A and B are shown apart, each in its own frame.
Chain A
């Protein structure tokens, strides 16, 4: 089966190379996007960090991403509880409607939002982009939360109730902490999707609230400005950093738990007659 390993090599090159090619490009001295770069320098980084036309879309995308993630969670959390836990007429239809934006082609959705939000005078506003993005993120967040909630043991809530916790207390002390990783994942995916989204942003964001993908798209089309390779490299670095932080925190947490388990607490008397 050794040949299968060799099969993996072209796959890694094919998937990995386009990701990594932006890194040398971002240090290029050339004034346009050409590969290989004629020389290396930091001039594009300087350009990015001093150009309002790049920093504004970056800030816009961050703002819209965070707002989208929050709005998505606000919509999806109650919807998931209702759809997973309570049998009611039209539940299957409700679930299908929630999933729909995932199935309908993005360009169709974009045109719909363009016309609909236009009639509400919400195109070219933050609110318009956030609303449209939240709609696109709902199915993603829903699917993540649905899987989490289906695996959640209802007896835990019953136990909390029987031990004296009122419904809201039960949610905050038991349900929410246990489902927190699911909420976090759902929010993170919503943020990432919004940050990355170009089609709807092209239709709705306009010149007033350009998002980063929109700016990059236009920059490539108009002037093939190498600054966009800087943006790409920075995003790549951010993702890498985030992944590493996550792995480190996870490792740290498991170490801490193991320590907590093996160190008997100071006052505990260890006369265990059963073990």
Chain B
């Protein structure tokens, strides 16, 4: 795809136009993208984003998150569906009239322009005179801590500095929406954390509606107001980070975000949260809306598991046999088996003194931290 073939009108726009609730600012409705018959890269994506919200599109590579972003920016035309900002459909608006700021994974700074010229570019396109544009660019660069680097060319700057220039360039014209396409993936760990804070700070200061694409789940957890979890072109869950973590909607979400142990269970009483399994016996858990007798997964995070010495040495069910321990002092990563199933636990406090290879321990958790999701 090239810059010169963009934003063809969508085919089925009429049936799928955004019905925008009052609270929604950026609306994506039934968005689809297929490349000549080869299945759908994006398959019916719906997003309702409030003004000023920081939303992360999270998913493995090829899950459709970047394609979705491309369609919002206008680099690719949707096969079906609608995108609107503030009730105005964008689908037939060409890229250069959308007023959307984009930060690219490789920064995409213009190599023949200085940092200041790069940042002044969108202002000059908006017919600001050269002096005003350069002044505003200077202030924008100062706000990302680059006031001493105005005259440098992109090739003379470090990755982190280039990233800041790209941010300043995407923000200086006060776009309606800011799109960030894995902007931190090329940076090393320290710099990445520094830039995460920087982006959060700018977001708080400017209140810019922001869409952030990443495949890094901890980055998504740390930065977002809400996370949209993508898998195979669809959104599996769109919720606040802790909701996604504690109450994953699907098995995929449970395994993709954070470590999790999943046990096959059968629901006994959905209202009381009673389930049972061969491995664990009868246990209490927090249940979503499932009916009695249904097969389901019980999800327990490693850090929710607590250990105790066995009261009855002959106990068989729910016994955790330790196979390996990485003890960090304050906490210990424990791999073990319950029956034939591998289970991972993060022991804390005094539990770290109980776990040693070969130990047989009683395993428990608070029922709020055991979540049942559909099988």
**Docked-complex contact B147 and A270, CB < 8 angstroms:** yes
- Cα distance A174–B75 when bound, in Å? 17
**Docked-complex contact B156 and A159, CB < 8 angstroms:** no
**Docked-complex contact A268 and B147, CB < 8 angstroms:** yes
B97 to chain A, nearest CB (A): 8
- Cα distance A174–B113 when bound, in Å? 9
Interface residue ranges of B304-344 to A (CB < 8 Å): none
Which residues of chain A are within 8 angstroms of B97 by Cβ–Cβ distance?
Answer: 164
Q: Within 8 Å of chain A (Cβ to Cβ): is B110? A: yes
* Most chain A beta-carbon neighbours within 10 Å: one of B108, B111, B145: B108
Q: Within 8 Å of chain A (Cβ to Cβ): is B122? A: yes
Question: Of B1, B114, B122, B150, which is within 8 A of A164 by CB?
Answer: B122
Which residues of chain B are within 8 angstroms of A269 by Cβ–Cβ distance?
Answer: 142, 147-148
A100 to chain B, nearest CB (A): 26
B322 to chain A, nearest CB (A): 46
B40-48, B99-107, B235-243: which one contacts chain A? B99-107
Q: Quick one: closest B residue to A271, CB to CB?
A: B147
* Most chain B beta-carbon neighbours within 10 Å: one of A169, A257, A268: A268
* Most chain A beta-carbon neighbours within 10 Å: one of B94, B96, B111, B156: B96
- Cα distance A86–B145 when bound, in Å? 41
- Cα distance A156–B106 when bound, in Å? 10
Q: Quick one: closest B residue to A269, CB to CB?
A: B147
**Docked-complex contact A162 and B101, CB < 8 angstroms:** yes
Question: Of B5, B98, B111, B153, which is within 8 A of A261 by CB?
Answer: B153
**Docked-complex contact A174 and B110, CB < 8 angstroms:** yes
Q: Within 8 Å of chain B (Cβ to Cβ): is A154? A: yes
Contact with B along A246-275 (1 / 0, CB 8 A): 000000000001001101110111111111
Residue contacts A-B, CB under 8 angstroms, 16 given: A153-B106, A154-B1, A158-B3, A161-B94, A161-B95, A163-B169, A163-B173, A164-B99, A165-B96, A165-B125, A170-B3, A264-B148, A269-B148, A272-B145, A274-B146, A275-B145
Contact with A along B6-50 (1 / 0, CB 8 A): 100000000000000000000000000000000000000000000
Which residues of chain A are within 8 angstroms of B106 by Cβ–Cβ distance?
Answer: 153, 155
- Cα distance A158–B98 when bound, in Å? 13
Q: Quick one: closest A residue to B141, CB to CB?
A: A268
Q: Within 8 Å of chain B (Cβ to Cβ): is A85? A: yes
Q: Within 8 Å of chain A (Cβ to Cβ): is B152? A: yes
**Docked-complex contact B3 and A161, CB < 8 angstroms:** yes
**Docked-complex contact A273 and B121, CB < 8 angstroms:** no
- Cα distance A25–B114 when bound, in Å? 52
Question: Of A154, A160, A163, which is within 8 A of B2 by CB?
Answer: A154
Q: Within 8 Å of chain B (Cβ to Cβ): is A206? A: no
A83 to chain B, nearest CB (A): 13
- Cα distance A133–B254 when bound, in Å? 67
Q: Quick one: closest B residue to A163, CB to CB?
A: B122
Interface residue ranges of A162-181 to B (CB < 8 Å): 162-167, 169-170, 173-174, 177-178
A82 to chain B, nearest CB (A): 11
**Which 3 A-B pairs have CB atoms at the shortest separation, nearest pair first?**
A164-B125, A157-B3, A274-B145
- Cα distance A156–B112 when bound, in Å? 11
Known: A153-B106, A158-B73, A269-B142. A169 touches B125 (CB 8 A): yes
**Docked-complex contact A155 and B145, CB < 8 angstroms:** no
Which residues of chain A are within 8 angstroms of B121 by Cβ–Cβ distance?
Answer: 160, 163, 165, 173
- Cα distance A274–B194 when bound, in Å? 10
- Cα distance A61–B145 when bound, in Å? 57
- Cα distance A257–B156 when bound, in Å? 10
Which residues of chain B are within 8 angstroms of A157 by Cβ–Cβ distance?
Answer: 2-4
Q: Within 8 Å of chain A (Cβ to Cβ): is B126? A: yes
* Most chain A beta-carbon neighbours within 10 Å: one of B74, B95, B111: B95
**Docked-complex contact B2 and A86, CB < 8 angstroms:** yes
Q: Within 8 Å of chain A (Cβ to Cβ): is B151? A: yes
- Cα distance A134–B147 when bound, in Å? 50
* Most chain A beta-carbon neighbours within 10 Å: one of B73, B109, B148, B153: B148
Q: Within 8 Å of chain A (Cβ to Cβ): is B284? A: no
* Most chain A beta-carbon neighbours within 10 Å: one of B100, B110, B126: B110
A216 to chain B, nearest CB (A): 41
Which residues of chain A are within 8 angstroms of B234 by Cβ–Cβ distance?
Answer: none
Which residues of chain B are within 8 angstroms of A86 by Cβ–Cβ distance?
Answer: 2, 5
Question: Of B75, B96, B99, B150, which is within 8 A of A268 by CB?
Answer: B150
Which residues of chain B are within 8 angstroms of A85 by Cβ–Cβ distance?
Answer: 2, 4
Known: A162-B102, A164-B96, A261-B153. A272 touches B125 (CB 8 A): no
